[in-house]
């Protein structure tokens, strides 16, 4: 890569690291659309460009989540009891989503899946629907199922799971700040399981660019990871200074913009315009 490309990825990493700390989304929801754009500009083959963007995005969350959760944990905001009950399902779901199914899906479908679920999550957050006061987290079986769904869906779109786990937790009457912090902690097991799946499913693919480990593009991973780890604690600090209503609006507006970009990418890939 050129110095300009490294610089662009470092800037992206700085913004996504901040977003990881602020919103508990691991930065992936911001990273995938921008990586898709940058990798397209770099001339990556169209049939794998979104796959590489998603896999590389998820791999960076291995580093970003550790920095982000450390900052949230210092403020006592992480619900570790929730993390422990969701992780088993997350690991299984992440491995399944990042495996053979991921390799089989075409760029257009991955783009539309990303846009659909991110847009739905943004709508739910922006509407600020109040959960029933009596609603609580489900039992062990329900939490395993929720974790599996979060891990599976996150691995398909290259995100840390916050776009599903934050609405799920707030729906179960977990406060917004606790939900964001706990989602940050969930980012590591999601990223670990998914990254393993991406490496296995992409191994030997002749269309992948030089420097790839499976679908993970290592030069971009290094550039983004260094920058994002430095800015994630700052995002976490800002998150605890905002009120709940402000945090939800920021979360929703960011997701709407990124959903629109990926929807456009999907429609172009289908040749609809």
Average pLDDT, the chain: 80
- What number of other Cβ atoms are within 10 A of residue 43's Cβ? 9
**pLDDT for position 244:** 58
Question: How far apart are the C-alpha atoms of 189 and 193, rounded to whole Å?
Answer: 6
Helix (H) or strand (E) holding 45: none
Report helix, strand or coil for 73: helix
| CA distances to 95, 140, 247 from 132, in Å | 33, 21, 21
Q: With cut-offs at 50, 70 and 90, classify the pLDDT of residue 179.
A: confident
For the entire predicted model, the pTM comes to 0.75
Strand partners, 212: 217
**pLDDT for position 87:** 92
195 touches 58 (CB < 8 A): yes
pLDDT digits 0-9 by tens, 109-127: 877 887 887 787 677 667 7
**pLDDT for position 164:** 77
Domain regions of the chain by residue span:
3-269
* CB environment 235-271: b (16+ within 10 A), e (fewer): bbeebbeeeeeebbebbbebbbebbebbbebbeebee
Question: How far apart are the C-alpha atoms of 49 and 125, rounded to whole Å?
Answer: 30
Question: How far apart are the C-alpha atoms of 56 and 51, rounded to whole Å?
Answer: 8
**pLDDT for position 117:** 74
**pLDDT for position 105:** 78
């Amino acid at each position: 890569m050129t110095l300009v490309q490294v610089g662009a990825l470092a800037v992206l990493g700085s913004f996504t690291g901040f977003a990881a700390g602020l919103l508990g989304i691991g930065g992936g929801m911001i990273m995938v659309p921008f990586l898709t754009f940058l990798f397209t500009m770099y001339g990556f083959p169209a049939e794998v460009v979104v796959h590489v963007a998603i896999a590389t995005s998820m791999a960076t969350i291995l580093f970003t989540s550790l920095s982000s959760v450390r900052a949230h944990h210092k403020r006592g905001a992480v619900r570790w009891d929730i993390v422990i009950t969701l992780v088993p399902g997350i690991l299984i779901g992440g491995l399944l989503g990042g495996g053979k199914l991921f390799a089989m899906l075409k760029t257009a479908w991955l783009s539309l899946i990303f846009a659909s679920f991110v847009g739905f999550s943004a709508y739910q957050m922006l509407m600020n629907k109040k959960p029933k006061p009596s609603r609580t987290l489900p039992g062990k079986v329900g939490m395993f199922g929720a974790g599996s769904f979060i891990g599976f869906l996150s691995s398909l779109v290259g995100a840390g799971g916050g776009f599903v786990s934050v609405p799920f937790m707030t729906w179960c009457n977990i406060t917004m700040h606790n939900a964001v912090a706990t989602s940050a902690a969930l980012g590591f097991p999601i990223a670990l399981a998914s990254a393993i799946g991406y490496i296995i499913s992409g191994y030997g693919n002749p269309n992948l660019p030089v420097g790839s480990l499976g679908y993970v593009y290592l030069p971009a991973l290094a550039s983004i990871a260094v920058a994002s780890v430095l800015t994630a604690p700052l995002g976490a600090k800002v998150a605890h200074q905002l009120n709940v209503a402000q945090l939800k609006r920021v979360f929703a507006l960011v997701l709407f913009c990124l959903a629109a970009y990926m929807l456009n990418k999907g429609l172009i890939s289908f040749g609809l315009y």
